[in-house]
Amino acid sequence: MNGLRMHNNEFERRVQQKTEGLKIIPSEGLWDKIEGQLPPEKKRRRALLWLLMPLLLVAIITATWLLGGENDKALQKPIAQTGQQRSASTENLSVSQGNQTSPKENTLSLAPNPTSGQQQSTRAIIGLDSSAKQQPVAKQNIAVQLKTGQSVRGKAPIADNANKRTAATQTDIDSQTVIAQQQKKGNGSLFASYAKAMRVSITAGQTDTIGLVPSLDADVAMAKLAAPLFATIATKPAMADELLRPIRQVPINPLTIPSNAASPAGKAKSHWEFGLTFGAGLGIRADNLLSSQKNENNMAALGGGSVTPPFYASGSKPFKPGIVCQIGLYSQKHMGQRWHVQTGLSYSYLSNKQTVGSYVRDTVQRLVAGFTYPGSLNTSANNIIGYSNYYRSGDSTVYTNRIHLLQLPIELQYRLGKQQKWGLQTGVALAYMVQGKMLVYDQANRQYFSSPKAYNRMQLSLQMGAAFYPKPQSSLAIGIRLNYNVNSFVKLWIEEQRILSGLLYCNMPLKKNKR
Amino acid sequence: MTEHTQLVKSCLQNDRASQKELYRCFADTMLGVCYRYTKSQADAEDILQEGFVKVFKNLHQYRSEGELGAWIRRIMVTTALNYLKRNVRYQGQMAFDEVSLHPVADDDPRVDLETKELVGLIRQLPAGYQMIFNLHVVEGYTHVEIGQLLGISEGTSRSQYARARALLITWIKKNYSGHERITYAQ
C-alpha cells in the first residue's frame, strides 16, 4: 500500500511490513448491504431529468423568442423578396360582384371559412356576392370577379375608378400607391379602418386563411387585399359601411396588435412594466426532492459520515411547515404574442419548524470539522466550525428555522387561452441569504447547533407556477408559485437542507405599460 | 492518472457494475485495515460497509493524481475511529488519560511472527492502545496528527503508544520465546 510513512525504528518498520498486507475476504452478503445504501441508478437519472427539464424549457422558450425575432425582421423585408421565399399556400379571399342592377346580388356576406377549423370565428371570406363560390387561388393571387363578370387570376389589379376596374389588368400592387390614392380621394379613414381590422386578423394568426404567410409584411398584405375590394366599394360608401360593419365587430385583442402597428416601417417596441409583488404561503424541508439519495448528515470521513440523523429515522416526522412570505418589485416585458419575461428584486422570508431536545447553554467550544480530502486532517478555517450552545436530540422543543433572502428572479410567462387570462411561468432566482437561523446536526456529538459559518449564502432556486391575469394587457396577476432551492442552505459537507415553498402571490403594476 | 481512473469515472456516474468492481478490487485489503482496529470480524465488516458507502458518496472529491487505494484506506481508518468512538463495547477502553510524555522502551525485538499472529496480538491490546498503535505504526500518522484525530494531546498519544508498544513486546517475548502463551484479559 502506497502512502504510508516508513519507520526508521526496526520494530515499527517490521510490524508495518507484516501488517499492512493483511487481506481478509469479506462475507458474501456484504456487497448487497452496501448496494442497499447506495442511490438507485434509475432514480438518479430521473433526478437528472428533473434538473434538465427547466433548462430544456428555458432553451425552448429562448429559441421561440429568437425565432420570433427573426420573423419580425422578415416583416421588414419588401414583399418582392419575401414573396419568392414563401411556400405555396392557398388564398381563399374571393371578392366577387355580380350584376349590380340586381339588389340581391349586391348583398354583402361575411361567411366563415369552413375549412379553417378552430379559427373560424375570426376568419372571414369576404364576398360581395353570397352566391359566389369561394375560389381558392394561388398565393398572392386574388380572384376578383368584377362587374364584367370576368375572373382575373394573378396579381391583383389596382383600380381607382370604375373604368379601370373594368379593365382588370394584371398590375403589380403597390401598396403605398393604393394608400396614397385612397387618401387623396378622402377615403383614407375607410381604408385604415379596413386595414386595421385585417391587420388584427393577420396578427392574430389567421394569415393562412387569407392566404398570407406570417413573414409577409402586414401592411403590404393589407394593401394587396384591400385594393381590389376597396376599388370595388370605393364609389359606394353605403356598401363600404355594410362591408366593414362585421369587420368592425371582430373583437380586437390589444395584445394581438403588434407594437409596430402604428408605424409599419418601425421596429417592434415593447416597454418594461413595473409593479409590486407580494405573496405568502408555506414552506417545508424537502432536502432531496431532486435526488433519490436518502438524506443524511454529510459530515463525511471525520464526523462519521453516512449515519442517518435522528430526524430521518423511519417514522419520524420532526419537520412541520412554516410561514413563507415575499415582497418586492418586479419588471415585466412583453416579448411576443404570449410570452412575457419578468425580473425584479424581492425579499423572501422562509421558515419551517423542527422538533429538537432541550436547550443547553455551554461554554465549551466544540468543533465540527469537515474535509476536502476524506480521511485527511483539514484544519483550514473554512472547514471547521465552532459552537458552544446547542440543542440536544429529542422532541421537547419546537424550533423555527428562519431564512431571510434577497432574490433576483428571472421568469418567463406563457399566456394561455384566447383571452390570455391564464398563464404558466417558470424561471430561476438567484438569492443571497441576508440572515439565517437554522439548526444543523452535529453527528459526532449528536446535537443541534446554529452557526452562520455553516450556511451557504448564495442560493439558486427553481420556480414555477400558474397565474390568472384579470386584465390580459396588464401584468396584474394573482397566482401560485412553487419555489425550491437547488443548492443546500447548509454547507454540503455538513448536511443538506432545502426548502420547498408554495406561495399565493399577487402582482400589482405601478405604471401602465404603454404599448 | 492512475489505473483506476476509468473505474472512478464510471462509479461517479452511479454505474452499479463499476461500483461493484471497485469494491471487489479493494474489499479484502480494506477489511484487513478495519480488522486491525476491531475485536471481531463482524465489527470490521460493519466498518467496511459504512466506509464503502462513504467512499461512493464522496468519490467526487477524490483527486486522480493520488493513489485510490490510499484514499480509500484513509476513509476506512477514519470510519473505524468513529465507529469505535460511538460503539458502546469499545468506549470503556477508549479513555485516554492525559499524561505526560512517556519514554519509549529501548527494546527492539526481532519480529518473526506471521502476519496473522502479529495482528492477533495487536487486536488483543485495549481498544485505545490498539487504535493509537495502528495509527502510528501501520498508518504512519505522527503523534500530532493522532492527537488532532482523537482529540487528545500529542503527549497522551505518545504515552499511550509507549504503553501499547511495551505491552506488545512483552507478549511477543513471552509467546514466542518459549514461554507460556499469554492471553490478554480485559
pLDDT tens, A216-258?
Answer: 455 556 556 666 666 666 666 666 666 666 555 544 444 444 4
Please tell me the predicted confidence (pLDDT) of residue A301: 34
Q: Closest to B69 (Cβ–Cβ): which among A2, A11, A373?
A: A2
Smallest Cα distance from B138 to chain A, Å? 5
- Mean pLDDT score, B111-128: 80
| Buried/exposed A108-129: b ≥16 CB within 10 Å, e otherwise | bebeebeebeeeeebbbbbbbb
B44 contacts A375? CB cut-off 8 A: no
Q: What is the Cα–Cα distance from A236 to B145, expressed in whole angstroms?
A: 103
Q: What is the Cα–Cα distance from A380 to A376, expressed in whole angstroms?
A: 12
Please tell me the predicted confidence (pLDDT) of residue A371: 55
Enumerate residue ranges in chain A where pLDDT < 50: 1-2, 70-72, 74-175, 197, 200-216, 250-268, 294-308, 314, 374, 377, 513-515
Task: Give the single-character DSSP code of A170.
Answer: -
A305 contacts B54? CB cut-off 8 A: yes
Instruction: Give the three cell numbers for residue A402.
Output: 428562519
B19 contacts A14? CB cut-off 8 A: no
B23 contacts A31? CB cut-off 8 A: yes
Q: Closest to B75 (Cβ–Cβ): which among A11, A19, A301?
A: A301
- Mean pLDDT score, B85-89: 77
Q: Is A306 on the interface with B (CB under 8 A)?
A: yes
A95, A96, A481 from A150: Cα distances, Å: 12, 10, 62
Q: What DSSP letter does each residue of B105-170 carry, written as one string?
A: P---------HHHHHHHHHTS-HHHHHHHIIIIIS---HHHHHHHHT--HHHHHHHHHHHHHHHHH
Give the residue carrying C-alpha cell 480494506.
Answer: B30
A23 contacts B31? CB cut-off 8 A: yes
Q: Cβ distance B100 to B155 under 8 Å? A: yes
Residues of B in contact with A38 (CB under 8 A): 14, 16, 19, 53, 56-57
Q: What is the Cα–Cα distance from B100 to B89, expressed in whole angstroms?
A: 27
Nearest of A223, A216, A140, A228 to residue A176 by alpha carbon: A223
Instruction: Give the three cell numbers for residue A331.
Output: 419588471
Q: What is the Cα–Cα distance from A347 to A332, expressed in whole angstroms?
A: 18
Residues of B in contact with A445 (CB under 8 A): none
Strand partners, A114: none
H or E element in which residue A404 lies: strand A397-416
Residues of A in contact with B140 (CB under 8 A): 4-7, 16
Q: Is A3 on the interface with B (CB under 8 A)?
A: yes
Task: Give the single-character DSSP code of A121.
Answer: G
Q: Closest to A38 (Cβ–Cβ): which among B56, B73, B116?
A: B56
Q: Where are the beta strands (DSSP E) in A14-104?
A: 94-96
Secondary structure of residue B9 in the 3-state scheme = helix
Q: How many CB atoms lie within 10 A of CB A317?
A: 7
Q: Could you tell me the pLDDT band of residue B27, with boundaries at 50, 70 and 90?
A: very high
Instruction: Give the three cell numbers for residue A491.
Output: 454547507
Please tell me the predicted confidence (pLDDT) of residue A152: 36
Strand A339-356 vs strand A397-416: parallel, antiparallel, or unpaired? antiparallel
**Looking at the predicted structure, is the pLDDT value of residue B88 above 90?**
no
Please tell me the predicted confidence (pLDDT) of residue A368: 74
Residues of A in contact with B50 (CB under 8 A): 305-307
pLDDT tens, B29-58?
Answer: 999 899 888 888 888 999 999 999 999 988
CA angle A371/B9/A303 to nearest 5° reads: 20
Residues of A in contact with B22 (CB under 8 A): none
pLDDT tens, B131-145?
Answer: 899 899 888 888 998
Please tell me the predicted confidence (pLDDT) of residue B102: 43
Q: Could you tell me the pLDDT band of residue B174, with boundaries at 50, 70 and 90?
A: confident
Q: Closest to A15 (Cβ–Cβ): which among B52, B137, B149?
A: B137
Q: Where are the beta strands (DSSP E) in A124-260?
A: 125-127, 143-145, 151-152
Residues of A in contact with B109 (CB under 8 A): 11
Nearest of A440, A434, A437 to residue A457 by alpha carbon: A434
| pTM of the predicted model as reported, rounded to 2 decimal places | 0.41
Q: Closest to B20 (Cβ–Cβ): which among A21, A31, A302?
A: A31
Please tell me the predicted confidence (pLDDT) of residue A136: 40
Please tell me the predicted confidence (pLDDT) of residue A236: 67
Nearest of B94, B79, B87 to residue B31 by alpha carbon: B79
Residues of A in contact with B136 (CB under 8 A): 12
Whats the size of chain B, residue-wise?
Answer: 186
